[in-house]
Amino acid sequence: MTVERSDPPYGTDERASYDAWLDYHRATLLVKCDGLDREQLRARPVPSSLMSLHGLVRHMAEVERNWFRHVIDGEPMAQGIWWSDERPDGDFEIADEDTYEADLAVWQDQVDQARAIAAAHALTDTGSRRNGDVVDLRWVYVHMIEEYARHNGHADLLRELVDGTVGE
């Protein structure tokens, strides 16, 4: 699969800018995973970390689900797709039967739902975090861009350790 990624526009309104930057970072994560086989996607080249490229895709599916479906849309969620109270790192704990293709489809579904939820809300619409803090959609956009940017840095290092590929 070849991933298409477009630079965000240099001059646009606030909402379009948030959407473009978030989509840019979503695509960047896929670029980092593109062309790797099952073992490379699952590789955890940093011995002290559970982090893998496959795990990052699962983690970001959880993040998309939490911030848009739970926080902004108010959907109750007792646990994650892969994590639970018993397995708090379940998104990074990939079982033998788990496939990247299936988990990527889950990520894409969460992204699609996040886009639809965001489109249905104003930037000033608010939601509540699990701890009770109230945040608006604008804050969630900025946080999501930051979250992807941080994890894309991890993905860049993981990719370099897995097969030597470097780049944006």
For the stretch 65-105, pLDDT in tens is: 999 999 999 999 989 999 999 999 999 999 999 999 999 99
Q: Given this model, what pLDDT does residue 1 score? A: 64
Q: Given this model, what pLDDT does residue 6 score? A: 86
Q: Which domains does the chain have, with CATH numbers?
A: 14-163 (1.20.120.450)
Q: Given this model, what pLDDT does residue 167 score? A: 79
Q: Given this model, what pLDDT does residue 32 score? A: 96
Provide the angle, in degrees to the nearest 10, between the axes of the packed helices 14-33 and 137-163. Answer: 20
Q: Given this model, what pLDDT does residue 76 score? A: 94
Q: Given this model, what pLDDT does residue 37 score? A: 97
CA 46 to chain centre: 20
Reduced to 3 states (helix: H, G, I; strand: E, B; else coil), residue 49 is: coil
Q: Is the dihedral of CA 153, 158, 161, 163 positive or negative?
A: negative
Residues of the chain short of pLDDT 50, as ranges, are none
Does the predicted model carry a pTM greater than 0.75? yes
Can you tell me the distance from the alpha carbon of 12 to that of 60, in angstroms, rounded to the nearest whole number? 26
